[in-house]
Amino acid sequence: MKKITTILSVACLFWTGIAFAQNSTTISGRVLDGDNDDALPGVNINIKGTQQGGTTKTDGTFEITTSKNDVILVFSFIGFESKEISVNGSSNLGDIVLKPSLVYLADQVVVSGTRRAEKITETPATIQVIDSRQISELPSFNPGELLSRVKGVEFIRSGVIGTGVNIRGFNSNFNSKNLQVNDGRFATLIATGLPLGPLSTFVKEDIARVEVILGPNAALYGPNAHNGLVNTIMKDPRTSEGTTIALGAGNQNMFTARLRHAQKISDKLAFKVSGEYTRGTEFEFADSVYITRLDGDNNPYFDGYEELELDNDFEFFKGNASLVYEVADNAELVATWGGSSSTYLAPTNVGRNQIKDWKINHYTLKYISDHWFAQAYLTTSKTDSTYAIDERTKQYYRGIDAGLSDAEARGEFSYQSGALFVDDSRRVNAEIQYNNGFGNLDFVIGSQYQRDMANSHGTYLLDEDENDFITINQIGAYAQLDYKLGNGFKLTGAARGDYHEVYEFNFVPKAGIVKSFENGAARLTYSKGIAAPTILNMYGNLFNGLILGNAEGFTLTDGSMVEKQKVEKIQTIEVGYKGKPTKNLFLDANAYYNISEDFLSPVTVVGVATERGDQPMSEVQDGFGAYGGLVATYINFGKVNTYGFDLGINYAINNTLSLNFNYSYFDYSVDENNLENDFNGDSVVNKLDILVNAPKNRAGFGLTYSGKKVFGTVFTRWVEEYDYFSSFQIAAKSQPELSYRGVPIVADARSADTWNYGPLGGFVNVDVSLGYHINDMFTISGQVTNLFDSEFREFTASPFIGRLVNFEFKINLPPVGSK
């Protein structure tokens, strides 16, 4: 009887499918950019009054099947006017042209929230988008500048080229808690976990858009998508054919030349290549180096010196090449190489590093189809001559004091105390993902593998030589389910399990509910994030062992233990709304509450140790004769609750002129009676233990005009004054009742072996830009950052920021063979 029932059920499904096929309507076509007739991938297409629809493919084409005969299709895409088309029966609509517009859309499509295309309002995360128009109209080689205009992002500028972001507090000079993803690859350094930043290989003209997630998204991206994620999505050569040449110049001796070319060779094969050369000079600034001396009575005091052989010049070479081959309908292989060689000054917890000829290379192979995504990539990192300026300066003067000549002290001797950083590391990543849907259920499942192989030739890690790699393996599996309940409600559930070779298994869940309205949606989400200690945290060996990694724990001379590091954890509850209350007004608001525990501390002195793990310090610490086991390392501590809200408003006066406003509030609470929060060990819990390092209030206001010929922006940013502490670095107002590293906190005065210039923030900054499209081929533009040349400082171990002026000339050549 069961067999008969099964056969009948299958037969019913079969005949139902045939009946649907006989009565179904298939609608197809292609969507184009009204400015240049380029194909538009990712355009959202919705059957009005239903949840049915789809998105355009990479070549702008689409195909939608429905059981209805008479439908209205709604086409929408960020930066373009939406369009409605009535359709009766199956038909090919041909080319559909969308006109560019500054009106924000509730139907724009993003991929970072769930790793599949969906409306930005329906994604269970707070996502901000920097679109291709903003990137194209920025008269600068550095697209990172646009992050200063994004709601919820704590943007800092550390010099002419140094731009960085933090999200929701707890910044430091070595912040690895925000994950950077470039074209699907983790874009972080192997040993330190830091975002590549200026070391990145991409060229501005090859960026399609940037999606920024506020808050943890570790369930899908893994450890270190902890405070947030910056996902840079590159252009497809098949939908962005042509050649772009950009030349730029400005003050600080800045010059940049960039080239991008993309071409379809056949219906199945396309490629793109890009390259960049940029150079300039950093703002004048000498970060004082303080060296301990003894007076006539053998009392210690500090002498101050300028950094040795400070080189303010920076230089970047970048190159990329990508080949796309369509192996079948809706399936393709993509092979990509990217490389960079960079020289510049970088702020750290112990002064500045001179980055010299640091080379990054990556090699990627991807398979992409409607339901499958797979990739494998190799990332390499190499430098032979990067060094810590502060430590090299100190060692130089030690040599002078010991009677060495100037030449001898500047030579090999100046690197012998651990100033030199060699990096010869590599990382292998692999990922496979499957997505599909059945009725109202959509799902994504996947797995990731990462193998880090760090090698410092014994200079800053606990490896011995060029053949001794510190190898860490990680594997993770994730799944996400989205279920449409009806009446505009969607449930999301996600989970991830990660196994780390040192920190073993961690489970990361995420859940949310989204209620969609006609032009927007509200959401409630819960998510967890983790930050795993980096290889530097675990196996660092800086300055002859004064700073050591903490993968094993330490035994101190009094018999007490310093526990080995654990992963840092954060749990976030968030509510938000994103949508269009009126035709021209786009509103984006969210509020959140975080519970953070087991903080990964900046490097801190823990005392005199006798063993690291079960190994005597005399065998671990290269400078044991000088330090005697005195060690600084990284620890976990405390539990802190943080909370805040972000508000973003975009009002389109018309299709070419818009007003933008954003505001963020951030604060925290901590149990001052819980001595587990006493990071510095003075038996008092206060802000010197919590190290929030974020302004309580910040805001931005912009006016943007984007016409057919003229475009421009005026953007004003306000950041409230705030105190900042990061290991050896301090920037704080005078508080003589408090001491940091044993010295009373006084602004514009020495604090131990660094100088306290006073708090960060406390400024209003105005940036302006203006451009003109001479014709379809030539564009000229210019930008002034810090228009009024206000003197302010946004980061420690960094210069005061002055006015920057850039001019750019861009040539856009049509695709080969076009008329």
Burial grade of 688 (CB within 10 A; 0-12, 13-18, 19 or more): buried
**Does the pLDDT of residue 680 top 70, yes or no?**
yes
Q: CA 279 from chain center: how many Å?
A: 23
Find, among 89, 94, 88, 38, the residue nearest to 62 by Cα.
Answer: 94
Domain range for residue 74?
A: 23-100
Specify the residue for token string 């090999």.
412
What's the number of domains the chain is made of? Answer: 2
Domain boundary among 39, 71, 100: 100
**Does the pLDDT of residue 604 top 70, yes or no?**
yes
Long-range contacts at 774-777 (CB < 8 A, ≥ 24 apart): 776/36, 776/812, 776/814, 777/811, 777/812, 777/813
> How long a stretch of residues is the chain?
819
**Does the pLDDT of residue 47 top 70, yes or no?**
yes
Are 199 and 252 part of one and the same domain? yes
In a domain, 690, yes or no: yes
Q: What percent of the chain has pLDDT over 70?
A: 93
In a domain, 616, yes or no: no
Which tops the pLDDT comparison, 808 or 59?
Answer: 808
Burial grade of 37 (CB within 10 A; 0-12, 13-18, 19 or more): exposed
Q: What percent of the chain has pLDDT over 90?
A: 64
Query: For residue 571, what pLDDT is reported?
Result: 95
Domain boundary among 70, 100, 130: 100
Q: Which helix (H) or strand (E) holds 697?
A: strand 697-706
**Does the pLDDT of residue 340 top 70, yes or no?**
yes
Residue 68: strand, helix, or coil: coil
Burial grade of 750 (CB within 10 A; 0-12, 13-18, 19 or more): middle
Under 8 Å between Cβ of 224 and 567: no
Are 196 and 265 part of one and the same domain? yes
For the segment 65-88, the average pLDDT, to the nearest whole number, is 80
Are 262 and 295 part of one and the same domain? yes
In a domain, 546, yes or no: no
Query: For residue 367, what pLDDT is reported?
Result: 95
Q: What is the CATH number of the domain that holds 47?
A: 2.60.40.1120
For the segment 741-766, the average pLDDT, to the nearest whole number, is 93
For the segment 632-649, the average pLDDT, to the nearest whole number, is 93
pLDDT tens by residue, 686-716: 889 888 999 999 999 999 998 889 999 999 9
3-state SS, one letter per residue, for 29-56: EEEEECCCCCECCCCEEEECCCCCEEEC
Query: For residue 115, what pLDDT is reported?
Result: 57
pLDDT tens by residue, 349-388: 889 999 999 999 999 999 998 889 999 999 999 999 999 9
Are 286 and 234 part of one and the same domain? yes
Q: Which residues, listed in sequence order, are joined to residue 345 by a DSSP beta bridge? A: 354
For the segment 103-114, the average pLDDT, to the nearest whole number, is 56
In a domain, 1, yes or no: no
Which tops the pLDDT comparison, 382 or 684?
Answer: 382
In a domain, 734, yes or no: no
Confidence tier at 19 by pLDDT (50, 70, 90):
very low
Query: For residue 1, what pLDDT is reported?
Result: 46
Domain boundary among 48, 73, 100: 100
Q: Residue 557 corresponds to which tokens in the numbers above?
A: 């001379």
Are 63 and 144 part of one and the same domain? no
Are 56 and 149 part of one and the same domain? no
Under 8 Å between Cβ of 181 and 221: yes
**Does the pLDDT of residue 88 top 50, yes or no?**
yes
Query: For residue 813, what pLDDT is reported?
Result: 92
- Given CA atoms 110, 116, 122, 124 in this order, what sign does their dihedral have? negative
Are 507 and 400 part of one and the same domain? yes
Query: For residue 479, what pLDDT is reported?
Result: 93
In a domain, 558, yes or no: no
Give the C-alpha separation, 573 to 596, whole Å.
12
Query: For residue 116, what pLDDT is reported?
Result: 59
The amino acid present at 597, given as its one-letter code, is E
Are 200 and 65 part of one and the same domain? no
Are 68 and 210 part of one and the same domain? no
- Residues 6 or more apart whose Cβ sits within 8 Å of residue 670: 638, 639, 640, 641, 677, 685, 689, 690
Under 8 Å between Cβ of 258 and 274: yes
Give the C-alpha separation, 819 to 815, whole Å.
9
**Does the pLDDT of residue 10 top 50, yes or no?**
no
pLDDT tens by residue, 238-248: 888 899 999 99
**Does the pLDDT of residue 228 top 60, yes or no?**
yes
Dump strand ranges (E) for 82-153: 83-88, 91-98, 109-110, 118-119, 126-130
Query: For residue 669, what pLDDT is reported?
Result: 94
Q: What is the model's pTM?
A: 0.88
**Does the pLDDT of residue 722 top 80, yes or no?**
yes
Query: For residue 9, what pLDDT is reported?
Result: 42
Q: How many DSSP H helices and E strands does the chain contain?
A: 9, 53
Give the C-alpha separation, 84 to 385, whole Å.
60
DSSP H helices, 366-472, are: 389-401, 406-410
Query: For residue 55, what pLDDT is reported?
Result: 74
Are 200 and 68 part of one and the same domain? no
Are 367 and 406 part of one and the same domain? yes
Which tops the pLDDT comparison, 10 or 324?
Answer: 324
- Residues 6 or more apart whose Cβ sits within 8 Å of residue 664: 151, 152, 644, 645, 646, 647, 697, 698, 699
Query: For residue 428, what pLDDT is reported?
Result: 98
Query: For residue 59, what pLDDT is reported?
Result: 75
Under 8 Å between Cβ of 197 and 166: no
Under 8 Å between Cβ of 530 and 476: no
Largest CA distance in the chain: 104
Are 808 and 699 part of one and the same domain? yes
Which tops the pLDDT comparison, 590 or 227?
Answer: 590
Confidence tier at 4 by pLDDT (50, 70, 90):
very low
**Does the pLDDT of residue 819 top 60, yes or no?**
no
In a domain, 76, yes or no: yes
Q: What is the CATH number of the domain that holds 232?
A: 2.40.170.20
Which tops the pLDDT comparison, 567 or 89?
Answer: 567
Q: Which residues, listed in sequence order, are joined to residue 273 by a DSSP beta bridge? A: 261, 321
Under 8 Å between Cβ of 263 and 273: no
In a domain, 751, yes or no: no
Which tops the pLDDT comparison, 753 or 412?
Answer: 412
Average pLDDT over the chain, rounded to an integer: 89
DSSP state of 116: S
For the segment 444-453, the average pLDDT, to the nearest whole number, is 95
Query: For residue 805, what pLDDT is reported?
Result: 97
Burial grade of 791 (CB within 10 A; 0-12, 13-18, 19 or more): exposed
**Does the pLDDT of residue 51 top 70, yes or no?**
no
Under 8 Å between Cβ of 755 and 749: yes
